[in-house]
Structure 1
Amino acid sequence: MSVALANPRKTRAVRMLGPVDIAALQAAVLVLPEQVWDAENAAKPNRFEVLDATRHIVFRFVDSPRDWRASHDRAAWPYWRDLLEPVLTGAVRDYGYACGVFPRVMLARMPAGGVIHPHVDANPAAKWPHKIHVPLSTNAGTICFFGGAERHFPVGEAVEVDNLGPHWVRNGGDTDRIHLIFEYYDADQPDPDWLEPLPRASAAR
């Protein structure tokens, strides 16, 4: 499926969304025991070779890689919801969607020296939602490539990235890089013509 079939509202480079109050979420994330990261990472649904040694805690995820409209809460969501929702809603305030949906929500922790190899998010469920990062912990040596340029995203600044173009990340510092990463779309926006109708049971969620 070509990029031409993607949501025309998505950025083709980066879109800076402004500062977000991450204090409470950041404090909770930075004291998470290693065994929690290990256990959550072992159970994650997003297992892709390009992610290398990056560990994840996944809170929400799509039911199928072919469709963003059906998604579900994972076991960690109820415990983290009160910390996550203010950051999520703060990051997307400028979109102005009355019926915004977050189909995928996760923490991504890249170790010092880690890489995420060049790739595009090729599954159909990634074609429509905005892909948004909120850095919770980083260092000056962490560089990412989006929209044809190398960039550094500062802590607490939300940014939408082009996940359909080639992108990569390199942590050249000596500390971990932790981002809140999520997707967001407007449920009121008409579905694209190429998308199959949502099954009635899923549509009722």
Structure 2
Amino acid sequence: MTVAPAANPRKTATIRRLGPVDIAVLNAAVLEIPEAVWDAENQSKPNKFEVLDQTRHIVFRFVDSPRDWRGSHDRPLWAAWRALLEPVLAQAVQAYGYGRGVFPRVMLARMPAGGVIHPHIDANPAAKWPHKIHVPITTNPEVVSFFGGQEHRFPVGEAVEVNNLGPHWVRNGGATDRIHLIFEYYDADQPDPDWLAPLLAVGAPR
């Protein structure tokens, strides 16, 4: 009998505020990204889910398989953006204290004014183990995020881990775009869950 995937017990069940992060240099670079780059990168992104609606993404790193977070790869823009992203990523995850932390997915998500991300859960097994972390780059007071059974307004430059395994949604009721740096993070020294090997052995459907 196959064991059903269970969440990493280290993940938050609601939200976990990780503190302020210095995004000044990253913010300036993000605001300079041409519309043509946003459009081209969004067109080629691997996370084409209907619930994302009009939200566009620039994906820097992504998992090789939705079943296993331990394998990931750099996408074309990672090399150019790595020096800007790595200091922000490192500062955001400092509180975890992991000796060998890994970032399997790293992306920018741009939600237009009036945009929505419809209620959903991150259902693939690769999403059950890593921490899911947001760092707002731009926002406005009318951006509402629902995680852990409550509505939240996340301020610019404050890293926060969210519960991606419960129902969540986002609504931008303001007049400006919302741009978040979104990434996953896990401890490479943490033992793999008991359910992973059987799941991979049976070739669970994607």
State the distance in 2 between where 1:142 and 1:2 align: 38
C-alpha separation in 2, matches of 1:24 and 1:66: 34
- Alignment correspondent of 1:83: 84
RMSD over aligned Cα, in angstroms?
Answer: 1.7
Find the aligned partners of 1:197 and 1:82 in 2 and give their Cα distance.
38
* 1:1-205 equivalence runs, <5 A: 5-196=6-197
Give the corresponding residue for 1:202: none
Q: 1:198 to 1:121 in 2, by over 3 A?
A: closer
Flag the 1:2–1:24 CA change in 2: closer, same or farther, 3 A.
Answer: farther
Instruction: Using the aligned pairs only, state the percent identity.
Output: 77
- Find the residue that maps to 1:50 and give its secondary structure: helix
TM-score (norm 2): 0.94
The aligned amino acid for 1:13 is: T
- Per-residue CA deviations over 1:18-38 (Å, capped at 9, x if unaligned) read 000000100000111100000
For 1:112 and 1:181, the matched residues in 2 are separated by 19
Contact in 1 for aligned 2:5/2:196 (Cα 8 Å) = no
Query: 1:203 matched to which residue of 2?
Result: none
**1:191 shift after superposition:** 0.1
For the 8 Å contact 2:52–2:118, the answer to whether it is kept is yes
C-alpha distance in 1 between matches for 2:20 and 2:75: 27
What is the CA–CA distance in structure 2 between the aligned matches of 1:33 and 1:42, rounded to whole Å?
14
Q: Distance in 1 between matches of 2:92 and 2:136?
A: 11
**Aligned partner of 1:161: which letter?**
V
Q: Deviations over 1:116-148 (max 9, x none)?
A: 000000000000000000000000000010000
Q: What is the CA-CA distance between 1:197 and the residue it aligns to?
A: 7.8
What per-residue deviation string (whole Å, max 9, x for no partner) do you get for residues 131-175 of structure 1? Answer: 000000000000010000000000000000000000000000000
Consecutive unaligned residues in structure 2, runs of 5 or more: 201-206
User: For 1:122 and 1:2, how far apart are their aligned partners in 2?
Assistant: 16
Partner Cα separation in structure 1 for residue 3 and residue 48 of structure 2: 23
CA–CA separation in structure 1 for the residues paired with 2:199 and 2:88: 29
Whole-angstrom CA distance in 2 between matches of 1:122 and 1:107: 20
8 A contact 2:109–2:180 mirrored in 1: yes
> What letter corresponds to residue 131 of structure 1 in structure 2?
K
Q: What residue ranges of structure 1 are gaps of 5+ in the alignment?
A: 200-205
Instruction: Tell whether the 8 Å contact from 2:147 to 2:163 is kept in structure 1 after alignment.
Output: yes
Structure 1 residues 45-78: Cα deviation after superposition (integer angstroms, max 9, x where no partner): 0000000000000000000000000000000000
AA paired with 1:188?
Answer: D
